[in-house]
């Protein structure tokens, strides 16, 4: 039966939790410090032998009740008397808990509701929360039985809620009453830290908002039942408007949003206290007179209450009228304060955080002071709300930041990602980071940044201290989002970057090396950012990107403003150094933001133009001219990379094998793939016979990668992309390389939109099997794709006109076709099929997508040569037809 009871309570009326950490900690009484009031002597010195435990307990409860009843009878059943009664109840609960015996896991009992507030009335329910650290097993149920049965035997109405700590996770799906009951939770006995652990599991960010929202709804519904007026001739002292529930509602709103709220407006704190005392005394009388849980002041009760509460003199009717007038005055006080709280309460924007008129504030500054890991959320909330962090909160941060090491700010992976997410460039980031810096927080999180605090480097062009110059670069970046028309081209580049937060991180560190009087500050900055990469637990790719940006942050301005950018060699070198389009975009924006932050006059439209041209030339080199630079035995930067790859090879690979594989591939290949990926490719290519196909499917983050290694044959590329599309895969990025000996390395990065691979264990095998069949010609991919293509060809959103640009000049070996079009399922397949159908060999492909836009660059030949002008015209016309869905 107990199992049912426990389960019933867990799925009962109550439900959702919030992080009320501050509130719990504010109590922080622990078990030992809950005062146990000694029972009066006559209870234990009963004649007739030593009574058994249940009898003793019943007597203790009776004595406690008598005590409260006596106070109620004298009209003094207010706060003090209820507090005393609550203490006595605590003692009973503690004793029962001790007698229920130990279990192997941690358990705690918390008082909820009125009992939690120590305002337990004579016949009120005793609301309890029992929390178990682990699974509720048979011994735990036995404990429950031994604990709860005696409570029921005492005749108490117990509202018990049983939870495991792990269930904190599901509180967000529970209902709001439990969430509100938890705001009053008070440890009575057991391991008081369990509640913190329980609440910490819940999704805390939305819960305070939800709690306040739920409370407002409940208040509105309850008031509606009373026709929205407090002036009831027979009022319910608990439920009516202006009653005790309204008072608790106002107090809860204040607690969740601003503890000083009720002192700032409404009826004021003093009047509210008086009203509470009055209503509690009235309620005690009602319980005493009715002998049960009864809260309605009916006419006959009004007379009795007036007498008990000392309304004497004059006729009975006059006494009652005076008493009831007082009641309504007090109810009005509560009503006024509740209205004020509803109107003026700041909006919760996160756990222990509200948005007030002066910005984001901590509800409980004491709690915030000890939890630096929560601070980043305040800045994030301020960014989201488009406001600042309040002076109060900043003062709290400033006073306490120095106590913590960097790790205290980001103890978990979630916190680390939250820090990174905060750095996404958008309006307000500069201001928030400046607040953080001035409050001394930035320097605690990034101790390296402290070294450039107010650092002055005297040269003739920098106009600001190094720290402010650094922060201004970020302001420049965030302003690109709403750039002027001339600047809009850079704004577009920013919108295309996959992880712009890495750029902000790199900007924060780019000049930190200037703490040293050294010529090469970039190298020192690069050395120092490694520490921050460790703190943020960046992955290899992210780490290498930020290190590159910091280490090379001067490179692009040097080339743009000091080198002859019309010299193709200069651009080729820069392209080789940068390696990928993504890094080029990052470095270009970094340069722009950095130059602009030197002084107001530094970034002239003239310089912008130079930088843009260098960007375009380098971009074109990376996407169009790379095909002619292949790995060979000539010296150069690629030779060093090849040596590195060979030197680092695992034991199962021979040096010649690696060298042979790399020979003839475009040099860019070395920068696009990690060493491990290259070794995997070498293995796949080992003893590969013509006509066979080797594949590798791998999950990367939320997305997937497919590598195909085989010898070239007509329609190969379109078949690969077609098979991916036939499974609904959205191809995001990709490369296709063909070596002069015909060996092909195709790599696709795609997202599994229909969760085919996630849902099917053998999905990858099935997909690669189909690829083999299609390449072998035993399966017709066109037929398989037909249905999907028809769906995809129907434009769902207003699109933009596709652009086809063909180029027979840039490369001596290839005809280059660049296509920018609206991304659609099977787009790559349809384009490459059209090329193959025109008799072209698809030798090299670069695939990228930016939002809805697909940008694909194909390097083509026909019978080993570039296309003739007429062939190119025909191909372009075919492609145009394909893109317009006419074929």
Partner 1 sequence: MKLIKAIVRPNKVDDVKNALEKLHISGMTVTEVRGHGKQKGHTAIYRGQEYNVSLLPKMEVEVVIPDALATDAIKAISEAARTGEIGDGRVFVLPVLESYRIRTGEKEV
In the complex, the residues that contact partner 1 under the rule CB under 8 A are: 561-566, 604, 606-607, 609-610, 613, 616-617, 619-620, 803-805, 807, 818-820, 855
- Our CB check for partner 1 shows the closer of 86 and 618 to be 618
- Our CB check for partner 1 shows the closer of 4 and 562 to be 562
DSSP 8-state code for residue 652: T
Size of the chain in residues: 887
> C-alpha distances in angstroms, 879 versus 91, 737, 806?
84, 21, 11
| 698 CB-near residues (< 8 Å, 6+ apart) | 704, 705, 707
Smallest distance from partner 1 to CB 619, Å: 7
Smallest distance from partner 1 to CB 544, Å: 26
- Our CB check for partner 1 shows the closer of 589 and 724 to be 589
Smallest distance from partner 1 to CB 832, Å: 17
Smallest distance from partner 1 to CB 820, Å: 5
Of 385, 386, 383, 350, nearest to 368 by C-alpha is 350
Smallest distance from partner 1 to CB 568, Å: 11
- Our CB check for partner 1 shows the closer of 581 and 730 to be 581
As beta bridge partners, residue 350 has: 353
Classify each residue of 786-807 as buried b or exposed e, where b means 16 or more C-beta atoms within 10 Å of its C-beta: eebbeebeeeeeeeeebebebb
Smallest distance from partner 1 to CB 814, Å: 16
- Our CB check for partner 1 shows the closer of 564 and 651 to be 564
- Residue whose token pair is 């978990």: 412
Distance (Å, whole) CA 627 – CA 668: 9
State the DSSP H helix or E strand holding residue 844, giving kind and residue range, or none if neither: strand 841-850
- Our CB check for partner 1 shows the closer of 70 and 616 to be 616
Smallest distance from partner 1 to CB 551, Å: 23
Smallest distance from partner 1 to CB 883, Å: 12
Distance (Å, whole) CA 565 – CA 571: 6
Of 373, 275, 519, nearest to 19 by C-alpha is 373
Smallest distance from partner 1 to CB 884, Å: 16
- Our CB check for partner 1 shows the closer of 131 and 844 to be 844
**Other C-beta atoms lying within 10 Å of the C-beta of residue 182:** 30
Smallest distance from partner 1 to CB 882, Å: 16
Smallest distance from partner 1 to CB 695, Å: 31
DSSP string, 299-351: HHHHHHHHHHTT--SS-HHHHHHHHHHHHHHHHHHHHHHHHHHHHHPPEEEET
- Our CB check for partner 1 shows the closer of 313 and 605 to be 605
- Our CB check for partner 1 shows the closer of 191 and 807 to be 807
Quick one: three-class SS letters along 699-743?
A: EECCEEEEEEEEECCCCHHHHHHHHHHHCCEEEEEEEEEECCCCE
Of 434, 444, 417, nearest to 501 by C-alpha is 417
DSSP 8-state code for residue 459: -
- Our CB check for partner 1 shows the closer of 681 and 866 to be 866
Q: Is the dihedral of CA 410, 412, 415, 416 positive or negative?
A: positive
- Our CB check for partner 1 shows the closer of 226 and 561 to be 561
Distance (Å, whole) CA 508 – CA 469: 10
Alpha helices of 597-734 — where are they, by DSSP H? 605-620, 637-647, 655-662, 668-672, 675-685, 716-726
- Our CB check for partner 1 shows the closer of 67 and 496 to be 496
Distance (Å, whole) CA 433 – CA 445: 12
Smallest distance from partner 1 to CB 208, Å: 47
Contact 171, 98 (CB under 8 A): no
- Our CB check for partner 1 shows the closer of 201 and 563 to be 563
Smallest distance from partner 1 to CB 855, Å: 6
Of 259, 224, 252, nearest to 239 by C-alpha is 224
């Amino acid at each position: 039966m107990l199992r049912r009871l426990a389960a019933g309570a867990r799925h009962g009326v109550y439900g959702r939790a919030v992080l009320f950490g501050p509130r719990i900690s504010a109590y922080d009484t622990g078990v030992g410090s809950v005062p146990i009031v000694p029972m009066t002597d006559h209870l234990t010195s009963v004649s007739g032998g030593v009574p058994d435990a249940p009898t003793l307990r019943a007597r203790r409860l009776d004595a406690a009740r008598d005590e409260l009843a006596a106070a109620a009878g004298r009209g003094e059943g207010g706060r003090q008397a209820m507090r005393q009664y609550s203490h006595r109840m605590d003692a009973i609960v503690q004793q029962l808990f001790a007698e229920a015996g130990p279990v192997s896991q941690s358990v705690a009992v918390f008082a909820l509701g009125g009992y939690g507030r120590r305002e337990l009335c004579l016949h009120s329910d005793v609301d309890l929360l029992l929390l178990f650290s682990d699974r509720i097993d048979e011994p735990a149920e036995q404990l429950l039985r031994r604990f709860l049965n005696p409570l029921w035997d005492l005749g108490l109405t117990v509202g018990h809620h049983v939870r495991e700590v792990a269930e904190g996770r599901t509180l967000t799906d529970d209902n709001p009453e439990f969430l509100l009951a938890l705001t009053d939770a008070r440890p009575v006995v057991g391991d008081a830290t369990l509640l913190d652990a329980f609440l910490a599991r819940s999704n805390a960010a939305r819960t305070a908002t939800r709690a306040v929202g739920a409370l407002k709804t409940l208040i509105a519904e309850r008031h509606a039942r009373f026709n929205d007026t407090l002036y009831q001739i027979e009022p319910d002292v608990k439920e009516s408007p202006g009653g005790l529930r309204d008072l608790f509602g106002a107090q809860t709103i204040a607690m969740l949003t601003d503890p000083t709220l009720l002192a700032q407006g409404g009826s004021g704190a003093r009047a509210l206290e008086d009203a509470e005392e009055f209503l509690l005394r009235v309620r005690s009388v009602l319980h005493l007179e009715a002998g049960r849980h009864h809260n309605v002041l009916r006419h006959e009760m009004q007379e009795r209450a007036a007498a008990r509460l000392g309304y004497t003199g004059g006729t009975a009717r006059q006494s009652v009228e005076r008493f009831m007038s007082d009641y309504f005055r007090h109810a009005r006080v509560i009503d006024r304060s509740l209205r004020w709280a509803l109107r003026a309460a700041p909006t919760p924007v996160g756990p222990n955080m509200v948005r007030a008129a002066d910005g984001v504030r901590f509800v409980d500054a004491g709690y915030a002071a000890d939890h630096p890991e929560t601070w980043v959320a305040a800045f994030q909330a301020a960014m989201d709300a488009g406001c600042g962090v309040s002076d109060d909160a900043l003062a709290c941060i400033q006073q306490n930041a120095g106590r913590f090491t960097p790790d205290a700010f980001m103890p978990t992976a979630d916190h680390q990602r939250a820090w990174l997410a905060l750095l996404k460039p958008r309006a307000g980031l500069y201001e928030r980071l400046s607040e953080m810096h001035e409050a001394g927080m930035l320097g605690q999180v990034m101790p390296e940044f402290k070294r450039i605090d107010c650092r002055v480097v005297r040269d003739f062009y920098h106009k600001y201290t190094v720290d402010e110059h650094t922060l201004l670069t970020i302001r420049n970046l965030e302003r690109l989002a709403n750039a002027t028309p001339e600047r809009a081209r850079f704004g577009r580049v920013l919108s295309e970057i996959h992880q712009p937060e890495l750029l902000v991180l790199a900007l924060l560190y780019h000049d930190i090396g200037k703490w040293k009087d050294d010529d090469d500050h970039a190298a020192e900055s690069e050395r120092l950012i490694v520490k921050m990469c460790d703190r943020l637990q960046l992955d290899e790719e992210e780490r290498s990107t930020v290190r590159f940006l910091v280490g090379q942050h001067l490179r692009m301005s040097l080339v743009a403003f000091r080198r002859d950018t019309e010299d193709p060699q200069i651009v080729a070198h820069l392209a080789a150094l940068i390696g990928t389009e993504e890094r080029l975009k990052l470095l270009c924006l970094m340069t722009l933001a950095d130059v602009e932050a030197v002084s107001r006059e530094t970034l002239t439209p003239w310089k912008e133009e130079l930088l843009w041209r260098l960007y375009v030339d380098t971009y074109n080199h990376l996407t169009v001219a790379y095909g002619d630079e292949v790995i060979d035995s000539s010296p150069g930067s690629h030779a060093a990379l090849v040596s590195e790859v060979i030197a680092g090879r695992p034991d199962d690979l021979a040096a010649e094998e690696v060298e042979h594989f790399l020979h003839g591939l475009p040099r860019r290949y070395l920068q696009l793939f990690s060493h491990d990926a290259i070794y995997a490719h070498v293995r796949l290519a080992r003893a590969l016979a013509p006509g066979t196909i080797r594949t590798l499917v791998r999950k990367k983050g939320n997305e997937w990668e497919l590598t195909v290694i085989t010898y070239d044959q007509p329609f190969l590329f379109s078949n690969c992309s077609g098979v991916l599309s036939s499974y609904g895969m959205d191809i995001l990025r990709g490369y296709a390389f063909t070596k002069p000996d015909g060996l092909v390395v195709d790599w696709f990065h795609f997202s599994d939109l229909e969760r085919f691979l996630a849902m099917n264990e053998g999905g990858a095998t099935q997909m690669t099997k189909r690829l083999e069949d299609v390449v072998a010609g035993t399966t017709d991919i066109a037929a398989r794709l037909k249905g999907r293509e028809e769906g995809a060809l129907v434009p769902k959103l207003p699109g933009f006109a596709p652009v086809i640009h063909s180029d027979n000049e840039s490369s001596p070996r290839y005809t280059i076709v660049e296509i920018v079009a609206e991304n659609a399922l099977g787009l790559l397949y349809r384009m490459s099929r059209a090329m193959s159908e025109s008799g072209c060999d698809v030798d090299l492909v670069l695939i990228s997508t930016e939002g809805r836009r697909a940008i694909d660059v194909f390097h083509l030949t026909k019978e080993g040569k570039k296309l003739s002008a007429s062939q190119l015209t025909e191909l372009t016309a075919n492609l145009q037809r394909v893109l317009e869905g006419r074929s």
